[in-house]
Structure 1
C-alpha cells in the first residue's frame, strides 16, 4: 500500500479498517460522534454539501485532516492549524533505558478493556479532552500502566488502514509525569504494530515541542505537515 494513503487518513481509515463504523456514503463519511469527531472526504473539493446535513447536525462540529470539501452556504470551515504527521518506518530496537529509571520500569503494561473504561475516560478528560469520546476505545487497542492503584498513563490505536496504524492518546496523569511512562507505552505499541506488519504513525501539534521531541527520540520522523480543519453549521 502506498504511503500516500496517509495524506487523507480519516477517509482512508473509514473505507478500510473502520468501514463498519462509517456513517455516510459516496465521497464523504464520518465516525459516530460518540466514537470520534472526525469526518473525511474522498478528495479536495468533493461536492458533498447535500450529504453533510445528515452527518453534521446542528450544534455538532466535525474535524478533518488533509482534505476538505467544497461547501455551499450555511457551513463554517475553519483552518485550525497544520499538525505534524510523524511516522516510524522501522522497528525501534530494544535498549537499556527503555524503562523509566525511577523504579516504575517494572510496572506492568496492560491492555485496557471495558473494565478500565471509566479510568480511561477520567484520565483523558483531564489531559486529552477534545478528541476522546465515550466509545473511542472501540477504534483499536489501548494500553496503560497503573501505579498505586491509579491509571497513570495510556497509549492507544485510533485510525488505521491495512498497513498503517495511528497511535493516539499518548498521555500521562500530571501526578506521574517525569517517570518515562509515555515513552514505555509509545515503544510498546510501536513495536507491537511493527510485529503485526503495520507501520505506526501519529499526529501532534507543533505547539507541543516536548511531545515532538519524544517521538523524534524514539524512532519517529516528520513525514509532512497536514492541515487540520473544523466544520460546523453556521448560526
Structure 2
C-alpha cells in the first residue's frame, strides 16, 4: 500500500469531504462535516485547538458529529467527547469477479422511504434521508418489499467504502448480504477503485462474512461523538 493510500485511509472522512464528497458537506481547511441528512461524520485536518474551534463553528447547539481517530479523544475546548466504540477498517483483496446479480436492483430516490425503514429495523449504522446521495445503492426485493440492501458511503481518491449492508431479519441466512457486497465490490473495482469498509470490532458475524468475501483488517479506529458542551449538559 502506497504512502498516499495510507494517509487517505487514516483519515477517510477528511479525504472524502476534501475531494469527491465536498458537495455533500461544509467546512474549510481545518474542519469539515457532512450535511446532517447525509451522514453524522466529521473530521479535522489535525488535532489542534484551532481545528476543533473550527469544528465547533460548524455545529448548532443541539447537534453532534462523529469523529474517527486512531487514538482516544479528550474533551476539546467547548466540546464534549463521548466514546461510541471501536471499529475495524477492512480493505478488499483481489477479486475473482462474476458476482451473482440475480434479482439485484438499483435503488433510487423513490426507494428512500423503504431504505430508511429497512435501516431502522436492521440497524447497519447511520443512515439518513440523503445517505443514498453518497454513492450507488442496490437491493433485493421479495414481491413489493425491500428485504436487503447495500451501498457506497465515503468516496475518496482510489477507495470507496461499502456500507449500509443489511437484510430483513426474516431473510437472513440466505447469502443476500454477501451477494450484494460482491456486486458492489465488482463495480467499484471495475471503476479502478478499491473497496473498504468499517465494522464494529465486536460484530464477529459481520467480520467473518467480510473475511470470507476477501476483506482483510487494516487498522482499528475509535469512534467519538462530539457535541457542544451546552447540548451535552442539557442531554444529561
Do both proteins adopt the same fold according to a TM-score greater than 0.5, normalized to the shorter chain?
yes
CA RMSD across the alignment: 2.0
Is the Cα–Cα contact under 8 Å of residues 47 and 70 in structure 1 kept in the other structure? no
More helix by share: 2
Q: Give the gaps of 5 or more residues in structure 2.
A: none
* 1:140-155 alignment, distance < 5 Å: 140-155=135-150
Deviates more, 1:159-168 or 1:54-63: 54-63
In structure 2, C-alpha distance between the alignment counterparts of 1:195 and 1:46, rounded to whole Å: 41
Verify: 1:83 aligned to 2:78, yes or no: no
**What residue number does 2:127 align with?**
132
Quote how far apart the aligned CAs of 1:56 are: 1.6
- Normalised by the length of structure 1, the TM-score is 0.89
Match for residue 168 of structure 1? 163
Give yes or no for contact 1:15–1:22 (8 Å, CA) kept in 2: no
DSSP 3-state at the match of 2:22:
coil
Task: Name 1:102's counterpart in structure 2.
Answer: none
Question: How does 1:58-97 map onto structure 2 within 5 Å?
Answer: 58-66=61-69, 72-94=76-98
Specify which of 209, 212, 215 is matched with residue 210 of structure 2: 215
Q: 1:111 to 1:38 in 2, by over 3 A?
A: same
Cα deviation, residue 73, structure 1: 3.3
- Return closer, same or farther for 1:217/1:45 CA change in 2, 3 Å cut-off: same
Q: Which moved more, 1:35-44 or 1:68-77?
A: 68-77
Alpha-carbon displacement from aligned partner over 1:22-73 (angstroms, at most 9, x marks no partner) = 2111210000111110001112336224323331212211001126888643
- TM (normalized to structure 2)? 0.89
Q: Which residue of 2 aligns with 1:179?
A: 174
Q: Work out the CA distance in 2 between the residues paired with 1:122 and 1:64.
A: 25
Total equivalences in the alignment? 226
Distance in 1, matches of 2:28 and 2:135, equals 23
- Residue 39 (1) aligns with residue 49 (2): no
Q: CA deviation at 1:91?
A: 1.9
Where 1:57 maps in the other structure, the secondary structure is coil
2:113 pairs with 1:118: yes
Q: CA deviation at 1:134?
A: 0.7
